[in-house]
Amino acid sequence: MNRGIIIAAAALIAIVRADAQPITGEEIMKHTAILADDKMEGRGTGSKGERLAADYIAEQFKAIGLLPGNSGSYIQGVPLIGMTADQSMTVAFQKGSEVITARYYDEIVGGSGVVSPSVNLDGELVFVGYGISAPEQKWDDYKDVDVRGKVLLMLVNDPPSTDEKFFGGRAMTYYGRWTYKYEEAGRKGAAGAILIHIEDTAGYPWQVPQQSWSGERFLPEQEQDPLKLRAWLRGDVAERVVGMAGKDLQTLVASAASPDFKPVPLHVTVKATFENQIRHLSAPNAIGMLPGAVTKERYVVVSAHHDHFGIGKPDATGDAIYNGAHDNAVGVATLLACARALAIVHPKDSVLFLTYTGEEQNLLGSEYYVHHPVVPLDRTIAVVNVDGGNSRGRTLDARAQGAEKSDLDAIVAEAAKSAGMKISPDPFPEKGYYFRSDHFSFARAGVPGFTLSSGLEYEGRPAGWGESVAVEYIRTQYHQPSDEVDDTWDLSGQVQVAELVVRIVERIAERKGEIRWNEDCEFQRP
């Protein structure tokens, strides 16, 4: 038989087999409802509920026919240190006889990066603008000022810019992320760092850091942060503190937008004393492996995080379970649907399905995997990550955060076109979503990847409707107990995302050679 006919016939068989069991909204809803059920207790990192979720994912991997990905097990343990700061802690700002005491949770949230049962902080407060040292941008907020032992007050995000070559223009760079700011403060020898929460610049309301930075926080077992205090301070309280120093916060913010900015000593003393509860634990990543039909040594990673915030402070209705239905039970459910479909299609390259712990704790699960991979990273071709879900119906587009940084851009665009869709740019580049999902851990290690999610151009809806829905979700459900499964959900748009993942993985597996970063990209393979 002619070779071309054989290839065509094989392709037709693959299509028929895949179509015999199409991905459906019912399938995604079934997994989502189980993972976001109250019995999972919000899947908090290292909790009983998270272990139940990981066990369920492992059972589904086995039922699909995936091989155990970690030396005969579907689970990879991630060693962590959990620390819970005393909920009655207060942070006092003092100048002379005047004292402003920030109330924990209502006005300030955070804890310590130092693994110690007791924390005592007493340091001078210094405003350091955006807290950025970026030589390639000719920008240094520290100006060689010695801030060792000081407590640094700083702004979130990057300096304002409309020039894409200067701090990414509208798009946030890693310098704008709170993770960088704490890291740099530690490198400078500071005793503490306090971020000012202003909703317009942060991109989310106060209740997001309230939930994310209260209760138990986690650090990698092998690392320790040098900062005694890592905190977020509500904007109006920051105004009062700066006012106590005889300064105006808006004037300071304006001055921080200039490359000539220099640190401003506020002559205010910060005092904080609190206790930490400390525990050592192992939290689960889940790993399933589909060997390639042709090549066993090359791997495409399909991933999603399964953790959320567990049981926390009750909302106005008394609900204390942070179910994380959209974030990210739907994403894990989508991954499971993709795993079943890809096991039928059976791509040429191997596929590794990963779900992570600790994403909500600064990507801890994916960061651990990158340092302890079950497959060498030089044989990991690319990462397709799924984070978040569309429960509003079909869209004309999808988003691929970070695909534009590598050869993946053309692959994703081609896959979307074959599905009758398009890839839209990030509508909220200032929020830095690229740095907030697990593909970023791989990017830092040199492996190209991106996070795929539904677009915002909904079929049959007017222009702008999708963006308004997204903004409303951030305001009313994101990282809140109200992010629950609803019987009125329309998951047809999430089915589109799942089908697109399958198309993308197949195309990556068909490709010969590496996926390469763009030459001007900040990430490259070692």
Predicted confidence pLDDT, tens digits, the chain (526 residues): 344 433 333 443 344 344 458 999 999 999 999 999 999 999 999 999 999 999 999 999 999 999 999 999 999 999 999 999 988 888 999 999 999 999 999 999 999 999 999 999 999 999 999 999 999 999 999 999 999 999 999 999 999 999 988 998 988 999 999 999 999 999 999 999 999 999 887 778 898 899 889 889 999 987 778 999 999 999 999 999 999 999 999 999 999 999 999 999 999 999 999 999 999 999 999 999 999 999 999 999 999 999 999 999 899 999 999 999 999 999 999 999 999 999 999 999 999 999 999 999 999 999 999 999 999 999 999 999 999 999 999 999 999 999 999 999 999 999 999 999 999 999 988 888 999 999 999 999 999 999 999 999 999 999 999 999 999 999 999 999 999 999 999 999 999 999 999 999 999 999 988 999 999 898 999 8
| Angle formed at CA 210 by CA 193 and CA 38, multiple of 5 degrees | 140
Yes or no: say if 514 and 415 are a contact pair by the CB < 8 Å rule: no
Read off the pTM: 0.90
pLDDT of residue 270: 98
Q: Which amino acid is at 200?
A: D
pLDDT of residue 3: 40
- DSSP annotation of 327 reads I
* Contacts within 8 Å (CB) and 24+ apart, 375-378: 375/299, 375/350, 377/442, 377/445, 377/446, 377/447, 378/525
pLDDT of residue 202: 79
- Rounded CA-CA distance 333/386 in Å is 10
Yes or no: say if 181 and 195 are a contact pair by the CB < 8 Å rule: yes
- Rounded CA-CA distance 146/363 in Å is 31
**Cβ-based neighbours of 521, under 8 Å, separated by 6 or more:** 405, 406
Yes or no: say if 361 and 281 are a contact pair by the CB < 8 Å rule: no
Yes or no: say if 348 and 499 are a contact pair by the CB < 8 Å rule: no
Tokens of residue 408, six digits: 């993946």
Whether omega before 157 lies within 30 degrees of 0, making that bond cis, reads: no
Per DSSP bridges, beta strands 449-454 and 380-386 are parallel
Yes or no: say if 228 and 114 are a contact pair by the CB < 8 Å rule: yes
- Rounded CA-CA distance 394/201 in Å is 31
- 3-state secondary structure (DSSP) of residue 464: coil
CA nearest 73: which of 85, 61, 63, 84?
Answer: 61
- Rounded CA-CA distance 258/190 in Å is 23
CA nearest 342: which of 330, 332, 354, 350?
Answer: 350
- Rounded CA-CA distance 291/199 in Å is 46
CA nearest 419: which of 400, 443, 447, 445?
Answer: 400
